[in-house]
Amino acid sequence: MGYNEQERAFIEWYPRGYGVGFKVKRRLFETQTEYQRLEIYETEGFGKLLVLDGTVQLVEIGEESYHEVLVHPVMLAHPNPKRVLVIGGGDGGTLREVLRHDTVEKAIMVEIDEGVVEASYLYLDVAKDLLDRLIKKEEPRAELIIGDGVKYLRETGGERFDVIIVDSTDPVGPAKLLFSEEFYRDAYEKLNDEGLYITQAGSVYLFTNELLDAYKAMKKVFDRVYYFSFPVIGYASPWSFLIGVKGDVDFTRIDLERAKKLDLYYYDPERHETLFQMPRYVRKLLEGQ
Ligand code: AG3
């Protein structure tokens, strides 16, 4: 698992011996935070690489293939997203994309591991300036809370959100609770009457069972649930995303006027429907739920 000195490569091993690897020039940083093992590498062709507990979180070159796709479909499907909650996402990439929408008045990011925020600020060119302003509490439209997202959602009082985005580690391991029916209920309750919830949901081919479990649990809670996948650079592609809808929002329709101002590189709002393309067996499995 991990760094192979001889090969000068970092490899993430998925189940059944499927690997995703990068040739690296050197390891820049390594630490055990309060929650996980964090490593940062300089890769040969993709900028810096952030690894948590042996799993690839992002590479600088291509990180938008994840962050754009996690954020903009829900932000553009919601008629007027003013209040946004991000759970996880300590590298700042998700919040950076959220704040590109002028509709946003307040965005809160709840990250459990301060170590991820610090290392991302120090080593990564993903959202350096934003993280700096968040740490200094100088970002007028956003706030960083270091804490447990599950607890935050359960305990926060009257706060309601238009969009909730979960940018967590995989549905296996420490983030498992973020894929539970109980958690989805708390999220549903904290959404405004018209609200959208999105979570990354793992590799389509390699975590199919976890994906199905999350889908089933979400269907019990949300008014409608959607699935889409996208080829994310650095992950075992295609990568899956699950959307929960509360109330009268149509996730299949995108505000193309607002989309024009964004000038995106990976997610194509004019071809929103192509997100829903999927392997036939996955469609069959989801339809069976
Ligand atoms: N968060 C999602 C990481 C999931 C990757 N899983 C894996 N490589 N097995 C990424 C954080 C980026 N903001």
pLDDT in tens, the chain (289 residues): 688 888 899 999 999 999 999 999 999 999 999 999 999 999 999 999 999 999 999 999 999 999 999 999 999 999 999 999 999 999 999 999 999 999 999 999 999 999 999 999 999 999 999 999 999 999 999 999 999 999 999 998 888 999 999 999 987 766 888 999 999 999 999 999 999 999 999 999 999 999 999 999 999 999 999 999 999 999 999 999 999 999 999 999 999 999 999 999 999 999 999 999 999 999 999 998 8
Residues 72 and 35 in one domain: no
Provide the pLDDT for residue 174.
Answer: 67
Residues 116 and 34 in one domain: no
Q: Is 167 assigned a catalytic role?
A: yes
Say what percent of the chain tops pLDDT 90: 92
Residues 197 and 259 in one domain: yes
139 lines ligand 1 (CB under 6 A): no
Q: Which helix (H) or strand (E) holds 128?
A: helix 128-135
113 lines ligand 1 (CB under 6 A): no
**Side-chain half-sphere exposure of 76, counting CA atoms within 13 A:** 26
Residues 167 and 232 in one domain: yes
Residues 44 and 139 in one domain: no
- Expressed in angstroms and rounded, the spacing between residue 257 Cα and the centre of ligand 1 is 30
Atom of ligand 1 nearest to the CA of 57: 10
Residues 133 and 85 in one domain: yes
CATH code where residue 128 lies: 3.40.50.150
CATH code where residue 47 lies: 2.30.140.10
Residues 206 and 244 in one domain: yes
Distance of alpha carbon 133 from alpha carbon 267, whole angstroms: 27
Provide the pLDDT for residue 176.
Answer: 84
Q: Which of 37, 58, 79 is the last residue of a domain?
A: 58
Which protein residue's CA is at the shortest distance from atom 5 of ligand 1? 57
pLDDT digits (tens, 9 = 90+) for 211-256: 999 999 999 999 999 999 999 999 999 999 999 999 999 999 999 9
Provide the pLDDT for residue 5.
Answer: 82
Q: Which of 91, 113, 167, 170 is catalytic?
A: 167
- Expressed in angstroms and rounded, the spacing between residue 168 Cα and the centre of ligand 1 is 7
Residues 145 and 8 in one domain: no
Provide the pLDDT for residue 157.
Answer: 81
DSSP string, 28-71: EEEEE-SSSEEEEEEESSSSEEEEETTEEEEETTTTHHHHHHHH
Q: Which of 58, 88, 105 is the last residue of a domain?
A: 58
b/e code 80-105 from CB counts within 10 Å (16+ = b):
ebebbbbbbbbbbbbbbbbbebebbe
200 lines ligand 1 (CB under 6 A): yes
Q: Which of 22, 38, 58 is the last residue of a domain?
A: 58
150 lines ligand 1 (CB under 6 A): no
Atom of ligand 1 nearest to the CA of 90: 13
Residues 142 and 43 in one domain: no
Number of domains composing the chain = 2
> pTM to 2 decimals?
0.97
Provide the pLDDT for residue 91.
Answer: 98
The SS3 call for residue 251 is: coil
60 lines ligand 1 (CB under 6 A): no
Provide the pLDDT for residue 1.
Answer: 66
Residues 77 and 157 in one domain: yes
Where does residue 246 rank: exposed (0-12), middle (13-18), buried (19+ CB within 10 A)?
Answer: buried
Residues 84 and 177 in one domain: yes
Supply the range of the domain harboring residue 143: 64-287
Whole-angstrom Cα Rg for the chain: 18
174 touches 36 (CB < 8 A): yes
Provide the pLDDT for residue 11.
Answer: 97
Residues 20 and 149 in one domain: no
Provide the pLDDT for residue 175.
Answer: 82
Atom of ligand 1 nearest to the CA of 55: 8
Provide the pLDDT for residue 7.
Answer: 86
Backbone angles phi, psi at 226, to 5 degrees: -120, 155
210 lines ligand 1 (CB under 6 A): no
Q: What is the DSSP letter of 7?
A: T
Q: Residue 114 corresponds to which amino acid?
A: E
197 touches 9 (CB < 8 A): no
Atom of ligand 1 nearest to the CA of 70: 13
